[in-house]
Amino acid sequence: MYVTFSMEQQPFSYTPFFKVPRKILTNAPNIRRFPSSANLFREGDKAEHVYEVKSGVLRLARVLANGRRQVIAFGLPGDIVGFPNGDFYHTDCDVVSSAEVIAHRLSELESAKGDFETQHRLMQAALREISSMQDHVMMLACKSAMEKVASFLCVLSLRTGTPSSNYTDFSLPMCRADIADFLGLTIETVCRMFSLLRKEGTIALNTPQTVVVLDMEALIDASQSD
């Protein structure tokens, strides 16, 4: 998951356009289950699989030379993570909330043994990731703190939210530090933006990890400008 959409270019619809159906091979032979805080791979490990997320949330991150961490992306259901840099993984991958994934062996995908449909889907996923990463870099460079946080909540709401009456609620399994490291902000700034959105009646927090979007139009407006 990247914060990639542009409301200036795409008119808003209550249709969750981030929930584009993606065929997942439920009968795949290599389904793996991981508890929260488990690790799928570390930066520099030899890349042997890419992982298709069926449920749960994964976190891709790198630790910089100065010790600071940058969260690169979150893997949500339907996402594919673990595309290598050459022969090796270039990020750490940890489980934020218990996850079920399909492990696709790279050696089979790169040979005639691989299923053509699966190869095609993973190629399309790799191309989407490149485009999304470019958009995410632009977001980090150009958006204000409020725009970043509101955009992040918009994407999560559209991808994982459950509509209820006039509202949409969704789980926020990642901690505030994860969100801060993903958006290039401090924890204090992220918490301040959440507080402002609450005071304005845009969102409510049933618990620190459960968000209710009270006014989607206002949240989208906040994602565009201060």
- Give the pLDDT score at 22: 44
As given in the structure block, the two tokens for residue 148 are 């970043």
Q: State the Cα angle at 218 between 192 and 12, rounded to 5°.
A: 130
DSSP state of 126: H
- Give the pLDDT score at 14: 32
Under the banding of pLDDT at 50, 70 and 90, the label for residue 140 is confident
CATH of the domain at 205: 1.10.10.10
Q: Which residues contact 142 (CB under 8 A, 6 or more apart)?
A: none
Among 80, 109, 139, residue at a domain's last position: 139
Distance of CA 73 to the CA centre of its chain: 5
Separation CA 127–CA 124 (nearest Å): 5
Give the domain extent around 70. 31-139
pLDDT tens-place string over residues 69-123: 999 999 998 888 998 888 999 999 999 999 999 998 888 777 656 677 777 777 7
Among 120, 139, 158, residue at a domain's last position: 139
Per the domain annotation, does 2 fall within a domain?
A: no
135 and 147 share one domain: no
pLDDT tens-place string over residues 186-197: 999 999 999 999
Per the domain annotation, does 120 fall within a domain?
A: yes
Separation CA 157–CA 54 (nearest Å): 18
As given in the structure block, the two tokens for residue 102 are 């399909």
How far apart are the two ends of the chain, measured CA to CA in Å? Answer: 24
Average pLDDT over residues 35-52: 95
pTM strictly above 0.85:
no
Separation CA 132–CA 198 (nearest Å): 29
Which residue has 């399909």 as its token pair? 102
35 and 135 share one domain: yes
As given in the structure block, the two tokens for residue 57 are 């949330």
- Give the pLDDT score at 61: 95
